[in-house]
Amino acid sequence: MEPQPLAGKVALVTGGTRRIGAEICRTLHAQGMNLVVHYRSSKLDAHALQVELLARRPDSVMLVQGDLLNGANLRNLVSKTVEDYKRLDVLVNNASSFYPTPVGDATDKHWDDLIGSNLRAPFFLSQAAVPHLKKSGGCIVNIADIHGDRPLKNYPIYSIAKAGLIMLTKSLARELGPEVRVNAVAPGTILWPENELDEITKQRILSRVPQRRSGDPADIARAVLFLVRDAGYVSGQVIAVDGGRSVVA
């Protein structure tokens, strides 16, 4: 049996109960990590994932519910993690709001929600986690987006927020080294937005991807695992997992 260098270590994953977040949780858990999985409203998905993973290894997954727009909840996530598991090794800032805000229709509420979930929460959650990550020699992985570099039409606030998350990744890598590494993964076409795109639009998007197909949540999870487990001399980097889409004009 191969050794598991992550066995017994602890990861806090925000928005970890559905879609890409759930796959990240499964992948890290399979490497022997204990998980604190945050969710906001997906209670049924959260408990289903917990049951699934606890069947593989007892006492290895804790759920924490909370709205990340509330600063007290951010501090509570970290304190609950350390209180229950006595350590924190990995923070994955995955939770994200995503919806269009065309210029002319955007509101203050849209700004506060999209900037809050995609940028403000990762910053203040990272800040709360820093003392514990320094103690463990841990790392932060932010889930960014290729549209943080190349804006998505009709999604200006989301694109701005993800651009900020990319700069946050680089800034924190400089601030927190050498004790804590900070990197990001920028997905391309992995999962389609729910109930938003017709088949013609999907095929038009895929025609601009050199791989000519969408990716899979497992592609993102494997990139996260690489940054957590295998990339000890990598910090301040953003890995695009997009089938080559970001290099196409």
The pLDDT tens digits of the residues spanning 55-110 come to 999 999 999 999 999 998 899 999 999 999 999 999 999 999 999 999 999 999 99
Q: What is the DSSP string of 19-77?
A: HHHHHHHHHHHHTT-EEEEEESS-HHHHHHHHHHHHTTSTT-EEEEE--TTSHHHHHHH
- Answer whether residue 2 shows pLDDT above 70: no
Query: How much is the pLDDT for 193?
Result: 72
In the block, tokens 């022997």 appear at: 32
Residue spans of the domains in the chain: they are 10-240
Q: In what order do the strands lie in the sheet with 34-39?
A: 61-65, 34-39, 10-13, 90-93, 139-143, 181-187, 238-241
C-alpha torsion sign, points 36, 41, 44, 45: negative
Residue 179 CA, chain-centre distance (Å), reads 21
Strands 34-39 and 139-143, sheet pairing = unpaired
Q: Which of 50-64, 77-91, 121-135, 178-192 has the lowest mean pLDDT?
A: 178-192
Report CA-CA distances (Å) from 221 to 4, 9, 17, 123, 140: 17, 17, 13, 21, 14
- Answer whether residue 188 shows pLDDT above 80: yes
- Answer whether residue 187 shows pLDDT above 80: yes
39, 85, 158, 233: which is the annotated catalytic residue? 158
This prediction's pTM:
0.94
Decide which of 3.40.50.720, 3.40.50.300, 3.40.710.10, 3.40.5.90 is the CATH code for 10-240.
3.40.50.720
- Distance CA(88)–CA(36), nearest Å, equals 10
Query: How much is the pLDDT for 213?
Result: 78
Q: Is 158 a catalytic residue?
A: yes
* 13-36: pLDDT as tens digits: 999 999 999 999 999 999 999 999
* 83-96: pLDDT as tens digits: 999 999 999 999 99
- Distance CA(13)–CA(126), nearest Å, equals 12
User: Which residues, in sequence order, are bridge partners of residue 182?
Assistant: 140
- What is the pLDDT averaged over residues 186-198? 74
- Distance CA(63)–CA(42), nearest Å, equals 11
